[in-house]
A and B are shown apart, each in its own frame.
Chain A
């Protein structure tokens, strides 16, 4: 079939370009559980000692991996819940309520979304210091959620825009209050958006590095990204095997989330509910 052969070309091109990526992933996995012979690329024998961080402190001054993982999980989850919750209500308001200054608000969202937030880090540092939230998980959760909000609000507004007005009118006519209409009739229509936003902001929180590094540098608030950073930086003898194993450990949840929720994640680019 001609169609098939055309696809084969594409597959071949894609395969060539993604080979380096695949090779890197393969070595990431292999080298986390094997010790290469000196001077050789090829792994010699199986060696699980790289994964020792799972059951012992790699260094007495550091928190255990489980404390750090818990921190990361808490940070990502709280951020995701906060962003999704606020975006869900704000997106509805922007999509449906006739409030003063709405166009400016929408424009502002876009600008904020495009704004390189890292330039704000000094100001944020001062604010957190002032509020007494510096070097606390709550502080970086608030900052991360605030920075993610423009994206979330925009996405949710888009999903609400696809819900027909008549559904709300019908709900009101059926005797339901505006709040109940939103909760019981509109929200179920934007569920795909909610799911996607929840996952995306969780992953974004999970991989956040700069905010915890600058705003929560203490060891009690360390997250996996800063923990890895510390592992590779502090040691006089850099242990790449250990670093790779922690990296594997760090990325497993991301891979699992992607595998489980691929369909929901695609939704956000597909533009909402189908009719």
Chain B
């Protein structure tokens, strides 16, 4: 089921949080709403599920206008950040509650609960109470409860934020598997770019109540439309350098880089260079001094302070004996340089 927000506006009192936002999520697609806290992504989610009333604009599920349909009647399943399981009910009662509300026969509920428990792989836990479950298991119960009504849209509000690192990895692929298997249209709200990139078909990156870029994860990473997008995606993060573009790109301390093909602009600009595009494997050209080395097992992060100012970060395979204070002369993959105007727009 396609989901479409048109001119969505939300204000709380005098404060307008979101203004005239358009968003279309294709049928069967998993879309991430990604952004720093306070960017309006959760507000958007709550408007879609009907908990918040929209101040303006319309919401369509397929061809149905559901803008003024109360939350109870919207075909939406929600998984909350803290799972919001009902503590006094067993897992079975929790998952079956949405059907019990619809006055469906007990035998039928039991069958459906068993089917969902199978899907999220918690069949043996049905008699337990939420307090007796681990975080990952609670997450699975919450997913099953959200899906039992066979909703047209599944909303996930920071579903992995309360899990430890190992479980997070596991649930990431689990949620994606379940979404794929059921073919449900899903929206994932997260502030974690890794989650958004690894789980979703497309990402809507939000800032200050606006979608600043909507793209596939690959496109958004390789081709950010603004400095904000470039800085938000990527771990370890991208490095920015001030530069003056003429015949070549001149950095502080009169170091220069060749102009990337296709860059037309001249004058002051900001260059974005991802850590994998800087290092000895790209030849030489930028002189500097290593100021920090962070081993990460398979790789190490090396921070370099350039002659004439500016910090660069490189991600390199472990094994080379880099030392803090060592002087280096490393190159940049010139064609991968991202250039931004001083106002942050991509050049």
Contact = CB atoms under 8 A, between A and B. Distances in A.
Interface of A: 164, 166-167, 169-177, 180, 185, 188-189, 273
Given A185-B86, A189-B87, A189-B88, A173 B81 contact: no
A173 B86 contact: no
Contacts of B80: 166, 169-170
B76 interface: yes
Interface size class of B (residues with CB under 8 A): 20 to 34
Nearest to A167: B84
A185 B88 CA distance: 8
Interface of B: 46, 49-51, 71-73, 76-78, 80-88, 97-98, 101-102, 145-146, 149
B88 A188 contact: yes
Contacts of B146: 173
B81 A177 contact: no
A176 B84 contact: no
A172 B71 contact: yes
A172 B51 contact: yes
18 contacts: A164-B84, A167-B84, A169-B84, A170-B78, A170-B84, A170-B85, A170-B145, A172-B51, A173-B71, A173-B72, A173-B146, A174-B97, A174-B98, A174-B101, A175-B72, A175-B73, A175-B98, A176-B72
Most buried by B among A167, A174, A273: A174
A169 B101 contact: no
A166 B98 contact: no
Contacts of B82: 164, 166
Contacts of B88: 188-189
B101 A176 contact: yes
Contacts of A169: 46, 51, 78, 80, 84
A185 B94 CA distance: 10
A174 to B, nearest CB: 4
B72 A166 contact: no
Contact of A177 (B72, B86, B87, B102): B72
A189 B131 CA distance: 13
Contacts of B76: 173
B173 to A, nearest CB: 24
A134 to B, nearest CB: 45
Given A166-B82, A167-B84, A173 B51 contact: yes
A173 B102 contact: no
A36 B190 CA distance: 80
B59 to A, nearest CB: 15
Nearest to B74: A173
B130 to A, nearest CB: 10
A164 B149 CA distance: 23
B139 to A, nearest CB: 13
B51 A174 contact: no
Nearest to A273: B87
A188 B93 CA distance: 14
A172 B84 contact: no
A166 B145 CA distance: 14
B73 to A, nearest CB: 8
Given A166-B83, A169-B78, 19 more contacts: A166-B81, A167-B86, A169-B51, A170-B78, A170-B80, A170-B84, A170-B145, A171-B97, A172-B71, A172-B72, A173-B51, A173-B76, A174-B97, A174-B101, A174-B145, A174-B149, A175-B73, A176-B101, A185-B86
Given A169-B51, A169-B78, A180-B101, A175 B149 contact: yes
A247 B5 CA distance: 72
Nearest to B83: A166
Contacts of A172: 50-51, 71-72
A173 B49 contact: yes
B117 to A, nearest CB: 17
A175 B86 contact: no
